[in-house]
Amino acid sequence: MRNLLLTTSFAIALSAPAFAAGTHDGGHGETKPAAMMVGMPGDAAKVDRTIDVTLLENDEGQMLIESEPMNIKEGETIRFKITNKGELEHEFVLDTVERNAEHKIEMAKMDMEHDDPNRIRLDAGASGEVVWTFANSGTFEAACLIPGHYESGMHREVAVGDQMAQADVEYTSGTIKKIDAKAGKVTIIHGPLVNLDMPAMTMVFRADEAMMAKMAEGQGIEFVADRVKGKLTVTQMK
């Protein structure tokens, strides 16, 4: 590794020093997973949730990465199910904005096909997946680095934080059916929970004491639920 580091000083000069052992610096064809700023390859058996991603071009000449907002909690393992619905080849690369910019320059010199765990390249009509664990909070990026594609719109923000970004959460209406304050549980008759990919139904949620204090049986509420330590929990309410 020491020799490799010496011979790849160019790549290191472009990379954050602490994460110099990222995908590229190990040399092409070497698939040893390394810790990157954006995280690490995830364990497919321990996926927290799936985000469906569509790669496509539209009639206005844009190229897009479409999905639900990529708001991810630190430590979450996501299965990105990616489908190329376009007519061109596309890729999906997870990295920092800076590293994507660096790789975009390399790609402009030579359209390289990579085989790194943080990226996948898909022919028109093809689909595949990337399983990734986001170990660090921060703003990252999903992008297609095929020359010209990024500029045509193929990049999307990936926000990793302690909590889901407030601006992007969608409130769901519901009616509180039952409160079990002692158990910290509340039964809510609710509409579809978009972020959890759940249809309208009656379900038991966790809620903390402060949240419970604002609730009454029979009350109509607008709320946000999310998985907190594996349990469906009311995280916001109005």
- Residue ranges in contact with Cu ion by CB under 5 A: 90, 144, 146, 149, 154
List beta partners, residue 161.
73
b/e per residue, 40-70, with b = 16+ CB within 10 A?
Answer: bbbeeeebbeebebbbbbeeeeebbbebebb
175 closest CA partner among 148, 205, 146: 205
CB closer to Cu ion out of 121 and 190: 121
Shortest approach of Cu ion to residue 61 CB, angstroms? 13
Shortest approach of Cu ion to residue 130 CB, angstroms? 15
Using alpha carbons, list the distances in angstroms from residue 235 to 12, 75, 184: 42, 18, 13
Shortest approach of Cu ion to residue 56 CB, angstroms? 9
CB closer to Cu ion out of 24 and 90: 90
Shortest approach of Cu ion to residue 100 CB, angstroms? 12
Shortest approach of Cu ion to residue 88 CB, angstroms? 6
Phi, psi of 201 (to 5 degrees): -170, -175
CB closer to Cu ion out of 73 and 155: 155
CB closer to Cu ion out of 55 and 176: 55
CB closer to Cu ion out of 64 and 160: 64
Q: First-to-last CA distance in the chain?
A: 55
